[in-house]
């Protein structure tokens, strides 16, 4: 059950980042950071999905750890966009809260998985 919540959360988050990239490209004429954030944010869910089809427990843990690293990178880009005043406080709060929520779920999943091995 928690796994499907994690998958759904990462999917919805990725969709918001895609919309953010469109906004950054069209309204702010910003392309460098927007390319970075879309790669890292969409990689979160992709690695979570891939982990579910891992060939072993170690493979699952490795893919989930990659998802966590991508989540941390995405968090950095969100903070940078706020610092550079590309996004509003409101948009920042929504994105950072979702990112941190996914990060917490990933950490919990990794801790549980590591404790079971």
Each residue's pLDDT tens digit, 50-92:
999 989 999 999 999 999 999 999 999 999 999 999 999 999 9
Could you tell me if residue 44 is inside a domain? yes
Could you tell me if residue 33 is inside a domain? yes
Each residue's pLDDT tens digit, 28-50:
999 999 999 999 999 999 999 99
CB 24 within 8 A of CB 33: yes
Could you tell me if residue 49 is inside a domain? yes
**pLDDT at residue 64, as a whole number:** 97
Could you tell me if residue 117 is inside a domain? no
Could you tell me if residue 57 is inside a domain? yes
Could you tell me if residue 30 is inside a domain? yes
Domain count, the chain: 1
Could you tell me if residue 80 is inside a domain? yes
Could you tell me if residue 22 is inside a domain? yes
Parent domain of 40? 2-112
**pLDDT at residue 3, as a whole number:** 58
Please state the φ and ψ torsions of residue 90, each to the nearest 5 degrees. -60, -50
With 80 as the cut, is the pLDDT of residue 94 above it?
yes
Q: What is the CATH number of the domain that holds 94?
A: 1.20.1440.60
Averaged over 14-28, what is the pLDDT?
97
CB 109 within 8 A of CB 64: yes
């Amino acid at each position: 059950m928690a796994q499907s919540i994690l998958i759904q959360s990462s999917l919805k988050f990725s969709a918001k980042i895609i919309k953010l990239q469109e906004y950054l490209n069209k309204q702010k004429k910003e392309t460098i950071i927007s390319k970075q954030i879309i790669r890292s944010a969409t990689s979160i869910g992709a690695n979570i999905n891939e982990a579910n089809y891992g060939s072993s427990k170690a493979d699952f843990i490795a893919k989930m750890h990659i998802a966590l690293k991508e989540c941390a990178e995405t968090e950095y880009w969100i903070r940078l966009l706020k610092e550079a005043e590309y996004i509003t406080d409101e948009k920042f709060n929504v994105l950072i809260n979702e990112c941190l929520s996914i990060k917490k779920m990933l950490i919990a999943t990794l801790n549980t998985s590591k404790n079971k091995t």
